[in-house]
Amino acid sequence: MPHSASTQPVAITGLGAIGAPGRGVAAIDLALQQGRDGLGTLDLWQTELAAHYPVGQYRGDLAADLALVPGFEATPAHLARLSRSDQLALVATAEAAAQAGLSPADFARTGAGAYLGLSVCGTLASEAEYTSAVMAAKQGSRKRPPPAALFTHEGASSLDALARYFKLNGPTLSFMTACSSGANAIGLAAERIARGQASVMLAGGADSLSRIAYYGFHSLQVVSPDGPRPFDRDRKGMSVGEGAGVVVLESLAHARARGARVLGLVSGYGHSCDAHHLTAPHPQGAGAVAAMRAALQSAGLQAADIGYINAHGTATLDNDRTEARAIAALFGENSVPVSSIKRFFGHTLAAAGAIEAVVCVRALQQQVMPQNLGLRQALDDARLDLVTMPRQAKGMRHVLSNSFGFGGNNAALVFSTGD
């Protein structure tokens, strides 16, 4: 979003993230630096598949983590009002708000809102309640189970929780464009600020693990028994994950006026739809190319200006093949460093683009590109400069992040240094 007479630069002043590597940006930094695989055995519910298919599950104590949320009381009543997705979103938001130096009173005063990408929402809890009700009925019980989980089932629950604890009185919207949801939430929130329609926005994505997502991807036969190996010639598929990523966005003028530290800029955003297939991407990546090109145009940049691409890179056969072709078509083969971080987190669905946005801003701040963990031998569909170890990148000013979802919903974001 290049600055013009009708738009204003959009600053990032806070980052928050949680997922398989741990809680907080520092924990994620460490995992990326150490090349620590984030996958492990599923234990949120019982299934025979758990021993054979790893997931990116958050292992921390979410109830304890919620102590970071302003005004939160760890009582059964408070916890009953929150799904696991809600809790992940709240914890990531608390970290981002604290780094930005913004309190709930500040959010209320500035009329801040929140755009959040979601897909699983509260289904983990509603699935458990449904299963319990079915089992009770089979045993002859006529007692109706308490409907508590139904109140946290939908995506509005996460936004209601953010509004409640962070005193948001601006627009709150859920985005459900499958795995591009978090990226679209950030891009559209940034556009709102760029147009002068808001001074401060929270934006990101959150999703917990759930049975429907876990078994759904298994039914599509795209889950790997040895975890994702993005852009590997012999890749076998993805691993499902959970987590949340949230950024605090402000107009650059607003951030500077209050003396905030600018961590980076959202400088470009593009989205497109393949209109090709319910789950498969366009074979030549036409929609992916369109989203990336639109993001570059929005940022007023050329392909040669991009110093690093954080790929969607799910390690499924179709995604990696078509994304590699799309990158090569727009940027040229071996022209820009590329990596996917899916083996660190698993595929966190609607949270993926938001978590990866946090990673991209950190890459700019540290001038280090994260590695493409799990790679053994590069795919030969298109030759990419794959980052196999953390790579120094002095002078890197712009990075591109891709998020591609079912139905051909594609999003691309450009992040730039704040200097």
- Distances from the Cα of 252 to the Cαs of 110, 200, 399, in angstroms? 14, 10, 19
Q: Establish if 54 belongs to a structural domain.
A: yes
Q: Given a cut of 90, is residue 89 above it in pLDDT?
A: yes
Q: Token pair for residue 308? A: 């690093």
Q: Round to whole Å and give the CA distance between 110 and 280.
A: 42
Q: Which residues of 62-101 are buried (b: 16+ CB within 10 A; e: fewer)?
A: beebbebbbebeeeeebeeebbbbbbbbbbbbbbbbebbe
Section 292-309 average pLDDT: 97
Q: Round to whole Å and give the CA distance between 69 and 232.
A: 40
* CATH code at position 395: 3.40.47.10
Q: Establish if 411 belongs to a structural domain.
A: yes
Active site residues: 179, 312, 347
Q: Round to whole Å and give the CA distance between 314 and 331.
A: 20
Q: Establish if 17 belongs to a structural domain.
A: yes
**Helices (H) then strands (E): counts for the chain:** 14, 14
Q: Establish if 3 belongs to a structural domain.
A: no
User: Which of 55-59, 148-152, 173-177, 275-279 shows the lowest mean pLDDT across its residues?
Assistant: 275-279
pLDDT of residue 149: 65
Q: Establish if 60 belongs to a structural domain.
A: yes
pLDDT of residue 77: 79
Which pLDDT band, with edges at 50, 70 and 90, does 130 fall under? confident
**pLDDT tens for each residue of 354-392:** 999 999 999 999 999 999 999 999 999 899 999 999 999
User: How many distinct structural domains can be found in the chain?
Assistant: 1
User: Which of 11-15, 143-147, 159-163, 185-189 shows the lowest mean pLDDT across its residues?
Assistant: 143-147
What are the residues whose beta carbons fall under 8 Å from the beta carbon of 86, sequence distance 6 or more?
Answer: 122, 152, 157, 158, 161, 206
pTM of the model: 0.95
**Which residue segment(s) compose the domain that 45 sits in?**
10-416
Q: Given a cut of 70, is residue 5 above it in pLDDT?
A: no
Q: Round to whole Å and give the CA distance between 317 and 347.
A: 15
Q: Establish if 1 belongs to a structural domain.
A: no
**pLDDT tens for each residue of 21-48:** 999 999 999 999 999 999 999 999 999 9
pLDDT of residue 185: 98
- Count of CB atoms situated within 10 Å of the CB of 304: 10
Helix axes 181-194, 352-366, angle to 10 degrees: 60
Q: Establish if 66 belongs to a structural domain.
A: yes
Q: Establish if 178 belongs to a structural domain.
A: yes
